Amino acid sequence: MSAADAAQVAETLAGAGAPDTKPQSPPSNEAAAAMEDTATHTPANELENPTEGASNDPPAAVAAAADEAKEGEGEEDEEEVDGEEEEDEADEDGEEEEEEEGDDIPEGETAETLKTKGKELGRANDLGEAARHLSWALELKMKELDGEQFHPDSAVFYLEYANALLKCEENSSDLFQWDNIVIAEQDTKSNAAKKKEQEAEKEKEKREMTGEELSQKAADKIAATLSGQAPPEEEAKGGDVQMEDEEDKPADDLQLAWETFECARKAYDNRLRKLETEGKITKEEVMDASFVHVRLADLLTLQEKVEEAAEEYKKALEMRKRFDLPYDTFRAPSLALAIALGQTDKTAAALQQFEETKALFLDYLDGRRGIRCPEEEREDNQITLREIEDNITELSRQQKEGDTTKANVELARKVAREMAGQEKKAQEKATATTTAVLGTVSSENAVEKDADGGAKKKRRVDVGGAVVTAEGGAEEKGKTE
């Protein structure tokens, strides 16, 4: 083979390996085998076993032709790699464009239609799409209201979006808990301390802020999130926000849910006030407003903040009672409150709440207040009632043991006081006896005795012309002894 022929073969091979500008489907196994045979085996076979009619060029020319052929193969490989990279980049660009298009609000939709579709998706357990549609609904509603935060008409949109976010978290809470365990095991002590310090700082900030300030801050963050902008504090951090680890995402979503519930709470406060003034308040409106507190409590329970959760359940129950809702609507928040209190050290309060909840379930099952439990719900309510009774039994035992311990402590203190009193009396008696004995000895020692046991003569002391004897008598001065 001549050098020109070898060069032509190499050029042909390089041309065969040049990538097409359009994405191509993967070749079949037969085509791949043929390409491999052409690109690799043919030139080598021709060089090693030249056929008849092949050129009788000198070995140097043959070597040069072989080198050219190898260079052509290398160029082919490079071009193939470049082609694959271009295809990957094109695919990634296409995916990014699809994602960007997917985040756009569908044309022709309104806030109401998106809210309806979002709720339907939620019932179908497509929670991610439900949250997406409800976020669009909230965004459109805020535009309709010119961005007025806590507007009475925005309340239900805040609630539905927050509820969808929380459902997503509840649905994957087991996975998040496992991830947190793995992450915690991998964290260094310094990182753990840093996280703890940051959480403490956030809690301190929440305690120092008023309810109005919390709601306003939450509304600002929700508005920034819906508009695709970073919240003010995140903008201050710069690039750090984009460098967050994936494990932080669940906490961020849960935080977003809490902030949206806060906005819903404030908006419903305004809505109920408006409807009450107009005399148009309904059971459904009160149920929705109290449901904000129920779901806030559920969120806090998910974070293992049971005492704060108990406060929210209590607010929900009190709201339903204040607006005279049917008593059967009390059962759920009353039971949730009892369970939350049972997880604290407030045994007496938990026991009382379980007793009240038991009465509500009995009334519902027996239809004592005009509302009877439907037959299809009776078995579930009876099971719940038995669980309530089990909790009452256990809490009563704990309270009794606590009372017994308290009584034992009081008895021990009483016995200790009595023993201390008896010891004091015995000590006083012993002291008095010792004093009497010492007094007798002193009196006896006042009379000096002679060697043979007889009493000595009384001493006389000259005191101003009188002689005072030891017995206290006085004699005239000048008399002899």
Q: Do the domain assignments include residue 273?
A: yes
Is 239 domain-assigned?
no
171 and 250 inside one domain: yes
Domain boundary among the residues 102, 125, 151 is at 102
pLDDT at 274: 95
Mean pLDDT on 6-11: 48
Residues of the chain with pLDDT > 70: what percent? 46
Contacts of 375 (CB under 8 A, 6+ apart): none
130 occurs within a structural domain: yes
Determine the Cα–Cα distance for residues 251 and 261; give it in Å rounded to an integer.
15
pLDDT at 308 exceeding the cut of 50: yes
pLDDT given for residue 370 in this prediction: 84
* 137 and 251 both lie in a single domain: yes
Name the band, by pLDDT with cuts 50, 70 and 90, for residue 172.
confident
On whether residue 121 sits in a domain, the answer given is: yes
Let me know whether 79 and 152 are in one domain: no
Q: How far is CA 432 from the centre of its chain?
A: 70
Mean pLDDT of the chain: 71
- Interval 238-262 mean pLDDT: 65
In degrees rounded to 5, what are phi and psi of residue 475?
-125, 160
Of 351 and 53, more confident: 351
Measured from the Cβ of residue 159, the count of other Cβ atoms closer than 10 Å reads 24
| Residues 95-125 pLDDT 10s | 555 544 456 888 899 999 999 999 999 999 9
439-449 per-position pLDDT tens digit? 554 445 544 44
Q: What is the pLDDT of residue 472?
A: 45
Predicted confidence (pLDDT) at residue 465 exceeds the cutoff of 50: no
pLDDT band at 128 (very low <50, low <70, confident <90, very high): very high
229 lies in the same domain as 253: yes
How do residues 450-459 score in pLDDT, each as one tens digit?
A: 545 555 444 4
DSSP state of 51: P
Cα distances (Å, whole numbers) of residue 221 to 53, 173, 320, 334, 351: 82, 24, 30, 33, 40
Q: Of 150-154, 325-329, 407-411, 458-462, where does mean pLDDT reach its minimum? A: 458-462
Considering only residues 176 and 273, tell me which one the structure prediction assigns the higher pLDDT. 273
- Per the model's pLDDT, the better-predicted residue between 187 and 398 turns out to be 398
In this predicted structure, the answer to whether residue 241 has a pLDDT above a threshold of 90 is no
pLDDT of the residue at 263: 96
Q: Does 93 share its domain with 149?
A: no
Query: Is residue 401 situated within a structural domain?
Result: yes
For the cut 90, the answer to whether the pLDDT of residue 330 exceeds it is yes
Give 455's DSSP letter. B
pLDDT range class, residue 73, cuts 50, 70, 90:
low
Does residue 473 carry a pLDDT above 60?
Answer: no
Question: Domain range spanning residue 12?
Answer: 3-102
The verdict on 45 and 116 lying in the same domain is no
| pLDDT exceeds 90 at position 401 | no
Count CA atoms closer than 13 A to 133's CA, side-chain side: 18
Split into its structural domains, the chain has a count of 3
Residues 135, 46, single domain; the answer is no
Residue pair 302/170 in contact (Cβ under 8 Å)? The answer is yes
Q: Are residues 412 and 337 in the same domain?
A: yes
- For residue 466, the 8-state DSSP code is E
**Residue after which a domain boundary falls, among 405, 431, 457:** 431
**Are the beta carbons of 151 and 270 closer than 8 angstroms?**
yes
More confident of the two residues 369 and 151? 151
* 178 and 261 part of one domain: yes
Claim to verify: residue 133 and residue 276 sit in the same structural domain: yes
What type of residue is 453?
Answer: G
Same domain, 42 and 74: yes
- Domain-located, residue 459: no
Q: Is residue 400 part of a domain?
A: yes
Q: Of 30, 50, 18, which is closest to residue 6 (Cα–Cα)?
A: 50
Question: Token pair for residue 125?
Answer: 């357990």
Q: Burial code of 418-440, b = ≥16 C-beta within 10 A, e = fewer?
A: eeeeeeeeeeeeeeeeeeeeeee
* 191 assigned to some structural domain: no
Point out the domain boundary residue: 70, 102, 134.
102
C-beta of residue 469 within 8 angstroms of C-beta of residue 458: yes
Whether residue 71 has pLDDT greater than 90: no
Within 103-210, where are the H helices?
111-123, 127-144, 155-171, 173-186, 189-208
Are 29 and 98 in a shared domain? yes
